[in-house]
Amino acid sequence: MTSSLPVVRDVPSLRREVAAWRGSGRTIGLVPTMGALHEGHLSLVRTAKERCDRVITTLFVNPRQFAPHEDFERYPRDEAGDSAMLVAAGCDLLYAPERAVMYPEGFATNVIVSDVSTPLEGEFRPHFFGGVATVVTKLMLQALPDRTYFGEKDYQQLQVVRRMTRDLDIPVTIEGCPTVREADGLAMSSRNAYLSPDQRRVAARLNHIIHDTIKAVHAGAPIEAAEQEAAQHLIAAGFTSVDYVAIRDAETLAPVNDLARPTRILAAAWLGKTRLIDNMAV
């Protein structure tokens, strides 16, 4: 029988657990999540557990990273189910704060990262990285882990968090882990639960078209033409609209003219009311 996962919901309780582990010389890994866990999150927990003695997973659906018209209200929530999966993956503690713990009355601080936050997701979801940077800063300062784990699925988020952690001298190592995919290539995401069976079939095309675009640029296709062609292929495959397909510098996400430096292809497209993102190394 699996035992249940200990849960704390406020900062003093979290810090008591962390202090006890530190007192006995343990290293600590943190996995920030918004719950609705899938294999992608669990792979972060397992990696954290391989590299750290104790693993804390955070569960907080962060209102500050959703715009008013976005899916905050309908975002899937299942703490009991998440908790059972986390025990099996080796997590030691769940930190699930209420909104008032994270954003008490009078909360007035925003962490804004420029440059790497500005293009792509920053253009289409202008509120998003401010919300992410603020909550991730708080979670890391509340737990003070040795390492914090993020999936490469949200590639720009990972670069924003890296930049912010360096800029603010937060004494935590940021680790990015590979995207976990379904058998047909679709990147795992809590939002895949919104897809109808027909949309789910189309969704897998996103990753295939990314692959084809990588092949095309390696074969000499000009970058801008390859991006435009990929967007056309997505629409032809059944996507409702395309926010971007972009080949960018892998660290700064600035536009590139060639593949001289490490380069990443990133895409965001809509299937009905569901927005999917994916990315790969070029």
Residues designated as active site:
41
Binding ligand PAF (rule: CB under 6 A), the pick from 14, 17, 32, 56 is: 32
Q: Closer to ligand PAF at the Cβ: 125 or 233? A: 125
Q: Is 132 in the site for ligand PAF (CB under 6 A)?
A: yes
Q: Is 55 in the site for ligand PAF (CB under 6 A)?
A: no
Q: Closer to ligand PAF at the Cβ: 149 or 239? A: 149
Q: How many residues does the chain have?
A: 282
Task: Please state, in angstroms and rounded to a whole number, the distance separating the CA atoms of residues 52 and 57.
Answer: 13
Number of amino acids touching ligand PAF (CB under 6 A):
10
Which two structure tokens, joined as six digits, stand for 97?
Answer: 């704060």
Percentages of the chain per state (helix, strand, coil), in multiples of 5: 45, 20, 35
Q: Closer to ligand PAF at the Cβ: 40 or 209? A: 40
Q: Closer to ligand PAF at the Cβ: 152 or 227? A: 152
Binding ligand PAF (rule: CB under 6 A), the pick from 37, 44, 91, 136 is: 136
Stretch of residues binding ligand PAF (CB under 6 A), selected from 31-39, 177-185, 226-234, 272-280? 31-39
Stretch of residues binding ligand PAF (CB under 6 A), selected from 2-10, 30-38, 102-110, 218-226? 30-38
Pick the closest to residue 247 from 219, 269, 225 (CA basis): 225
Residue 252, number of CB atoms within 10 A of its CB:
14
Q: Is 135 in the site for ligand PAF (CB under 6 A)?
A: yes
DSSP per position, 96-149:
---HHHHS-TT--------GGGSSTHHHHSTTHHHHHHHHHHHHHHHH--SEEE
Q: Is 34 in the site for ligand PAF (CB under 6 A)?
A: yes
Closest approach of ligand PAF to the CB of residue 270, in Å: 19
Reading across the β-sheet that carries 274-281, which strands appear in turn?
241-249, 263-271, 274-281
Residue 245: in which H helix or E strand, if any? strand 241-249
Asked if 211 and 230 touch (Cβ cutoff 8 Å), the reply is: no
Q: Closer to ligand PAF at the Cβ: 156 or 213? A: 156
Which two structure tokens, joined as six digits, stand for 195?
Answer: 């897809």
Closest approach of ligand PAF to the CB of residue 150, in Å: 6
Stretch of residues binding ligand PAF (CB under 6 A), selected from 3-11, 131-139, 178-186, 206-214? 131-139
- The site for ligand PAF (CB under 6 A) is made up of 32-34, 62, 65, 132, 135-136, 154, 157
